[in-house]
Chains A and B, each alone.
Chain A
Amino acid sequence: MHSAHTPFWVRYLLLLLALAWVGLWILLPVSTVVYGAFANGWGSYLSALADPESVHAFYLTLIAALWSVAINLVFGLAAAWAIAKYQFRGKTLLLSLIDLPFSVSPVIAGLVFVLLFGGQTLAGTWLAAQHIQILYALPAIVIATVFVTFPFVAREVLPVMEAMGTEEEEAALTLGASGWQTFWLITLPGIKWGLLYGVILCTARAFGEFGAVAVVSGRIAMETNTLSLHVEKLYQEYQSQAAFAVASALLVIALLTLVAKSAVEWRLRRALTEIKHAPESV
């Protein structure tokens, strides 16, 4: 009803502005990546992707992402559970701490871990004595990625859990279910869309992480070079076509995530409205 009173030229102007914006900031860079990737034809595109260093980078990124998502799944769920179901002192503090990675520069986060596990510290010396390699190896990459992606699962699960309440779980307990059965049969199905949404966001961020990983990984080719780092390395070595080709692989992953995200987002919104607007009596 409001739009009916808006002059048509205002509407068109706004639409044009939005389109121009999307074109300038999204379509133009994306097409540049695609154009750059295929600048020397299909053959060199495929050989850039099939290059052992690229394959290793892809493999390493995948492993790091899987670990980070798995770890954040457990801890994010635990954090959301504690906040949604229990009353305790420092609840708001815990919430702000969970959000911290959003406001800390990833490079700083990476640096913190370098300082924490470096040779000069107590932790670093002890780990070195045990011959446990954290820095400049997979563990550091996973730790940095976990830090950067920590808020996603907790933040997405929390509202669903709060909306769900505790009644269904209490009902399950009175019907003879154990705590474990209640979790698998009642809690998890109730929060699955929120959880999946958090996992998708977490995965996307884990694949794309650059700053924190750049600091802690040491960027050793065939060892600790992730996909994002590899793109930069190729670019620095003036292999721009190869850099764009690898970047296009990240682009495909991003697009797949976007599709999955939209699908899950739709289900999640439906699940939330079902919880909130369950008719009382008919």
Chain B
Amino acid sequence: MTITIESITKRFNGYVAVDRVSLTIPDGKLVALLGPSGSGKTTLLRVIAGLEVPDEGAVSMNGVDVTHTPARLRNIGFVFQHYALFKHMTVFDNIAFPLKVRKRSVEEQRALVNDLLKLVRLEGFGQRYPSQLSGGQRQRVALARALAAKPKVMLLDEPFGALDAKVRQELRQWLRRLHQEMSITSLFVTHDQEEALELADRIVVMNHGRVEQEGTPEDLFEHPKTPFVMSFLGDVNIFHGRVEQGQTVIHHDPAAVAPSVTETKAVRAYARPHELDIDRTPRDERSLPAKVRHVNTAGATVKVELLLRDGHTTVQAYLGRERYQELKLQPGEEVYVVPRQLRIFVDEDDEAPTA
């Protein structure tokens, strides 16, 4: 089912949680709503679910306006961060709930619940109560329960947010497989960029109630349109500089910081740690003199921390192991940082995210 969101605005006591957001969720895709807390992503999800009524704008599913359709008639499955399992019911009764309220026969309930228990790998857990399950098991029950209603859309609000790292990783992969098998249009909220990059077909980055950028994970990672998207999607190094006669000059010399030329524009240049190389001699005018501070060789890449000559800018560079073997860097050594790629954003305001 294709979901179309047109200029949705939602306020809470004057606070604008979602600000004129328009968006299309393509049929059968797994889409991530990514953003820091307070960016409006959960509110938007709840508007789509029908748990909140927008102040302005419209939501439609397959072209049918559902803005004022109650949640129970929207044919959606909603998964809550804290599972929202019915504590006084067994796992079986929790999963059977959507069928029970639709007055389906007991045999039909039993057959479907058993299928779903198998799907979420919880056979034999039917008679337990939610309090007798681990967090990961509870979230799987919540998923099974949402699937029992045969939804056309799955909406997941930080589904793995309350779980520890290992369980989260397992559930992610499991959800990815499940989505491939069932291809239900799915939208999940997360503040974890790794989760979004790993799971989603498309990512919608939100900030301050608005959509910052939308696209495929590669798109967003390789071609971020704003500094916010750039820094929210991964580690970045920020270099302050200015544009002079169409050329970006990065300040590595403190003397050059003074804005002596009026027509120059202050800019910030962003590079991810793996986009930096290190050399003993400068390669071009962009090479920045720096001192090696720390080398971490544990892991697939070698992480090098450097201090630029300005004395306060710390830079992270990730080198391949072979490159590292070639260089044999030592802490305290004077070297040059060579950006292979730089993304330049004009300094307008402090748009850098805090998260």
In terms of DSSP, what is the predominant structure of the interface of chain A? helix
B162/A176 in contact, CB under 8 A? no
Which of B87, B146, B162, B167 makes the CB contact (< 8 A) with A190?
B87
Does B77 count as interface, using CB distance less than 8 angstroms? yes
Chain B interface size band reads 35 or more
Q: If A175-B98, A176-B102, A281-B164 touch, does A168 touch B134 (CB 8 Å cutoff)? A: no
A239-282 interface bits toward B, Cβ cutoff 8 Å, 1 = contact, 0 = none: 00000000000000000000000000000000000110011111
Query: Quick one: which of A198-212 are within 8 Å of B by CB?
Result: none
Does B76 count as interface, using CB distance less than 8 angstroms? yes
Q: If A274-B131, A281-B136 touch, does A171 touch B84 (CB 8 Å cutoff)? A: yes
Which residues of chain B come closer than 8 Å to A185, judged between CB atoms?
A: 86, 97, 100-101
B335 to chain A, nearest CB (A): 44
Which of A174, A181, A189, A279 makes the CB contact (< 8 A) with B49?
A174
Which residues of chain B come closer than 8 Å to A173, judged between CB atoms?
A: 50-51, 70-72
Q: If A167-B80, A280-B162 touch, does A175 touch B135 (CB 8 Å cutoff)? A: no
B101/A174 in contact, CB under 8 A? no
Does A172 count as interface, using CB distance less than 8 angstroms? yes
B108 to chain A, nearest CB (A): 15
A178/B101 in contact, CB under 8 A? yes
Does A162 count as interface, using CB distance less than 8 angstroms? no
Does A177 count as interface, using CB distance less than 8 angstroms? yes
B134/A281 in contact, CB under 8 A? yes
Smallest Cβ-Cβ distance to A174: which chain B residue: B78
Which of A175, A189, A279 makes the CB contact (< 8 A) with B145?
A175
A176/B101 in contact, CB under 8 A? yes
Q: Which 5 A-B pairs have the closest CB atoms?
A: A281-B135, A282-B134, A174-B78, A171-B84, A167-B84
Can you give 11 contacting A-B residue pairs, CB < 8 Å?
Answer: A171-B78, A171-B84, A172-B97, A173-B71, A174-B72, A175-B145, A175-B149, A181-B101, A278-B87, A282-B133, A282-B134
Residues of B within 8 A of A (CB): 49-51, 70-74, 76-78, 80, 82, 84-88, 97-98, 100-102, 131, 133-136, 145-146, 148-149, 162-164, 167
Residues of A within 8 A of B (CB): 167-168, 170-178, 181, 185-186, 189-190, 274-275, 278-282
